[in-house]
Amino acid sequence: MELTKNITLGVYLPGSTSIHRLDPRTKILAAAILIILLLFVRTYEPYLLFSLFLFAVVLLSRIPVGYALCGLKPMLPVLAIMWVFQLFLFKTEDTAVLFSWWIFEATEAGLHMGNLISLRVLFLFTTTTLLTLTTSVVSLTDGLESLLKPLAKVGLPTQELVMTLVIALRFVLILAEELEKIVKAQMARGVAFDRGNFLQKTKKLFPVFLPLFIGAFKRAEELIVAMEARSYTGGRGRTKMKTLRFGRVDLYSTLATLAFSALLVFTILRSGPLY
């Protein structure tokens, strides 16, 4: 029973590689461009290119490959459900029927759609995880705030929004820890989370959510009080210890990302949508 093991989203892995030292804005922009491009990918070839790029980032940042991938494990059940839904429900007019079961028909179009959507979610998640693994909470905040400055000018509370986002990210791990404690306490009193099939296991999780959210709210409230006690009153008037510097390495990295994006766009256009 170890739930926090496979949580990588929102975890920061300290390091001093060139990827770690990049200006957070470079990393955030790169991640944003890649994620937007992902939405347009409708075939398999671009994913091959994409995985090469992500693999290069993993190598450069010296994150163990297994660790970078293990964060995907908790998502697999959800993806599997999504995949099955697409397989049976997505149809085009001229698609071949692979097999049918009761009133449902699995089609070739559904199979590809299921694959592509699953791939999209996996790559989206991996890209975001790589960003948080190599960027500390504060530099993430600073980077986002700096990038959103134009929006602040028109009166949006960007600093508060960013702080909320960052704290939400921090709570991924906290929620997993809380969940582990509650599940263990219930197991200790005879709830068999570790027995039964997938459906039975999921059903047993429901009574866990109430204490989980009460616990999380309590902790969030304590964090807010602690921040207030340290004179936090929102973003106004805050200064920074670390200033952002967009250096030469950042320029090269951005150019590399843009070049890769162009290649990706070209591949996307050339291969055309599968459906």
Q: What angle do CA 46, 51, 57 make, to 5 degrees?
A: 130
Residue 76 contacts other proteins per CB under 8 A: no
Tally of helices (H runs) and strands (E runs) in the chain: 11, 2
**Residue 39 binds other proteins (CB under 8 A):** no
Q: Is 96 helix (H, G, I), strand (E, B) or coil?
A: coil
**Interface residue with other proteins, options 36, 45, 196, 207 (CB under 8 A):** 207
Q: Is 66 in the site for other proteins (CB under 8 A)?
A: yes
Cβ at position 165, least distance to other proteins in Å: 14
Cβ-based nearer residue to other proteins, 120 or 219: 219
- Could you say which of 32, 227, 256, 265 contacts other proteins (CB under 8 A)? 227
CB atoms within 10 A of CB 243: 8
37-45, 80-88, 123-131, 178-186 -> range binding other proteins (CB under 8 A): 178-186
Instruction: Pick the binder of other proteins from 35, 85, 111, 215 (CB under 8 A).
Output: 215
As a dihedral over the C-alpha atoms of residue 14, residue 16, residue 20, residue 21, rounded to 10 degrees, the angle is 130
Query: Alpha-carbon distance 32 to 183, whole Å?
Result: 36
* The only residue of 42, 91, 120, 170 in contact with other proteins, by rule CB under 8 A: 170
Cβ-Cβ contacts under 8 Å for 138 (sequence gap 6 or more) = 242
Of 96, 99, 103, 189, which one interacts with other proteins (CB under 8 A)? 189
Give me the least distance between CB of 243 and other proteins, in Å please: 7
**Binder of other proteins out of 149, 184, 203, 270 (CB under 8 A):** 184
Distance CA 246, CA 248 (A): 7
**What would the two tokens of residue 111 be?**
């199979």
Of the residues 18, 51, 115, 136, which one makes contact with other proteins according to CB under 8 A? 136
Could you tell me which stretch among 36-44, 116-124, 131-139, 246-254 binds other proteins (CB under 8 A)?
131-139
107: helix, strand or coil: strand
67 binds other proteins per the rule CB under 8 A: yes
Look-up of token digits 């999780």: 205
Among 153, 230, 245, 248, binds other proteins (CB under 8 A): 230
Q: CB 190 → other proteins: shortest distance, Å?
A: 4
**H-run or E-run covering 237:** none
For residues 91 and 219, which CB has a smaller minimum distance to other proteins in the complex?
A: 219
Largest CA-CA distance found in the chain, in angstroms, rounded: 64
3-state SS assignment for residue 188:
coil
C-alpha 40 chain-centroid distance: 18
5 interacts with other proteins by CB under 8 A: yes
Q: Among residues 194, 198, 202, 251, which is the contact residue for other proteins, using CB under 8 A?
A: 194
The encoded tokens of residue 159 equal 């600093």
